[in-house]
Amino acid sequence: MHSVHGVRRTFVRLRRDERGISTILLSVGCAAFLAATTLAIDVGMFMVARSQAQNAADAGALAGATALVFNSYTDRSTSSPAVQGAISTAQANQVIYEAPSIGTADVTFPNDPSGQPTRVQVQVFRTTGRNNAIPTLMGAFFGVSTVDVTATATAEASPANAMTCVRPFTIPDRWVENVTPPWTTSSTFDRYYTSGPKKGQLMTPLADAYPPVGDPAYDGYRMPRDVGLLLTLRAGTGNNIEPTMYYSWAMPSNTGADDYRGNIAGCNPAVVHLSDPMTQEPGDMTGPTNQGVDDLIAQDPNAYWDTVCNCVKGSAYGASPRVFPIPLFDPDYYQSGKVNGRNASLKVANWIGFFLVTRNGNNVTGRITPVLGIVDASAGPAPAGAFPRAIRLVQ
């Protein structure tokens, strides 16, 4: 009898004994905490992977759009600079210590809302289907051993309607040569009688014409026709208007020869729009022009023009500083003012990109090329076939 009661008391005592329970609870808590922490690490890792994948896609799309502008705007084949540049740049951006998967079929060229093929779209993958899915740490205990991560980005090389870093000299835009066709770099713009009883009147029966930007007949410099065209610029003299004859102009904040030289070798941040007036720089600026050109060549001495790809090679920069925008003036506006006795008036009609090849004496030789521009929401539409392009992510 006593033994039965003793056993019963022992069980009651053991049932009420809480010694060791803390160890059990601590073990369970640690296990739960470890599981939660590991899951949190998984979630955090996936968020990082998603961000890294988006960075890779963004970089690839921007590289593809840049190659469209500076290498070939028409070549969209699988071996094109745009496709290969997009792939190599995207893969250079690792996703959780591994390059994402991207093939030629993952680089496409959708049209922009206006129907123009200005866009490059890139997709990158770390997925089971590409045999590179991201492994989980804790998910495997719940039957999820890997997670798929993808990203898509679209960049646009849209025509620019405004420019910055413009140099302080200007040449005439290309015109329709009716007097002595066809137009060449040796042509002269002849639209008005410059002397005699008909001075200032339109030449008959034919006269050279300059339909302005926006006119269906506009035939100024444009892509891709004029990419690579060789121009040897020289200082303008008299009233003649020739394609390679430049006039110096006083840029905003320009205060003399030193600023003029600096605006050639560097970047003037003033934003220039279509139809902006340009005032000729007084005095002979040949010396400062030559000095600024030499300074600019010295910044990237190994860059050269490759006539095979019609693009710049050998530059130490992603975009050579020897490529810069030149404003084009309206030759009709200028000549009509000169022959009617007004002071020389210049007005921005368009822009070209210019790769500075060399200087020989007072002659500056270069090639027409695309150039980076900006999009100003307050300005009008960009000229058709404009050389300046604004590269930006749109999706």
In this predicted structure, what is the pLDDT of residue 342? Answer: 65
290, 319, 324, 233 alpha-carbon torsion, rounded to 10°: 50
Is 4 domain-assigned?
A: no
Measured between alpha carbons, how far is 66 from 391 in angstroms, rounded to an integer?
7
Whether the Cβ atoms of residue 378 and residue 276 lie closer than 8 Å to each other? no
Whether the Cβ atoms of residue 101 and residue 125 lie closer than 8 Å to each other? yes
Of the three residues 124, 158, 192, the one that is the final residue of a domain is: 158
Whether the Cβ atoms of residue 103 and residue 132 lie closer than 8 Å to each other? no
Q: What average pLDDT does range 130-151 have in this prediction?
A: 82
Question: pTM for this one?
Answer: 0.77
Q: How far is CA 137 from the centre of its chain?
A: 41
Mean pLDDT of the chain: 86
Measured between alpha carbons, how far is 76 from 108 in angstroms, rounded to an integer?
9
Q: Are residues 71 and 135 in the same domain?
A: yes
Is 10 domain-assigned?
A: no
Q: Are residues 74 and 98 in the same domain?
A: yes
At residue 40 the predicted structure's pLDDT band, cuts being 50, 70 and 90, is low
In this predicted structure, what is the pLDDT of residue 9? Answer: 65
In this predicted structure, what is the pLDDT of residue 286? Answer: 84
Count Cβ atoms within 10 A of the Cβ of residue 232 and give its class: 0-12 exposed, 13-18 middle, 19 or more buried: middle
Inform me whether the pLDDT recorded for 138 exceeds 90: no
At residue 21 the predicted structure's pLDDT band, cuts being 50, 70 and 90, is low
Q: 149-159 and 119-126 as β-strands: parallel, antiparallel, unpaired? A: antiparallel
Is 307 domain-assigned?
A: yes
Q: Are residues 148 and 174 in the same domain?
A: no
- The count of domains in the chain is 2
In this predicted structure, what is the pLDDT of residue 22? Answer: 60
Is 14 domain-assigned?
A: no
Measured between alpha carbons, how far is 107 from 154 in angstroms, rounded to an integer?
10
3-state helix, strand, coil in the chain (%, to 5): 30, 25, 45
Q: What average pLDDT does range 368-394 have in this prediction?
A: 88
pLDDT digits (tens, 9 = 90+) for 106-127: 999 999 888 888 899 999 999 9
Is 1 domain-assigned?
A: no
Measured between alpha carbons, how far is 171 from 164 in angstroms, rounded to an integer?
17
Measured between alpha carbons, how far is 265 from 315 in angstroms, rounded to an integer?
16
Q: Are residues 367 and 239 in the same domain?
A: yes
Q: Within a 10 A sphere around the Cβ of 75, how many other Cβ atoms?
A: 14
Q: Are residues 69 and 200 in the same domain?
A: no
User: What percent of the chain lies above the pLDDT cut of 70?
Assistant: 86
Give me the domain span that covers residue 209. 162-393
Distances (CA, A) of 26 to 16, 22, 23, 388: 19, 6, 5, 67
Nearest to 246 by CA among 263, 261, 231, 229: 231
pLDDT digits (tens, 9 = 90+) for 256-311: 788 888 889 998 888 999 999 988 877 778 888 899 999 999 999 999 999 988 88
Inform me whether the pLDDT recorded for 14 exceeds 90: no
Is 267 domain-assigned?
A: yes
What DSSP string runs through 80-147? SHHHHHHHHHHHTS-SSSSPPB--GGGEE----TTS---EEEEEEEESGGGT-PEEPSSGGGGT--EE
pLDDT digits (tens, 9 = 90+) for 170-228: 999 999 999 999 999 999 999 998 888 888 889 888 899 999 888 989 999 988 889 99
Q: Are residues 197 and 118 in the same domain?
A: no
In this predicted structure, what is the pLDDT of residue 75? Answer: 87
At residue 39 the predicted structure's pLDDT band, cuts being 50, 70 and 90, is low
Is 11 domain-assigned?
A: no
Is 47 domain-assigned?
A: yes
Q: Are residues 82 and 169 in the same domain?
A: no
Q: Are residues 172 and 248 in the same domain?
A: yes
Of the three residues 117, 142, 158, the one that is the final residue of a domain is: 158
Inform me whether the pLDDT recorded for 30 exceeds 70: no
Q: Are residues 204 and 149 in the same domain?
A: no
Q: Are residues 92 and 170 in the same domain?
A: no
Q: Are residues 205 and 184 in the same domain?
A: yes
Q: 245-248 and 230-235 as β-strands: parallel, antiparallel, unpaired? A: parallel
Q: Are residues 286 and 308 in the same domain?
A: yes
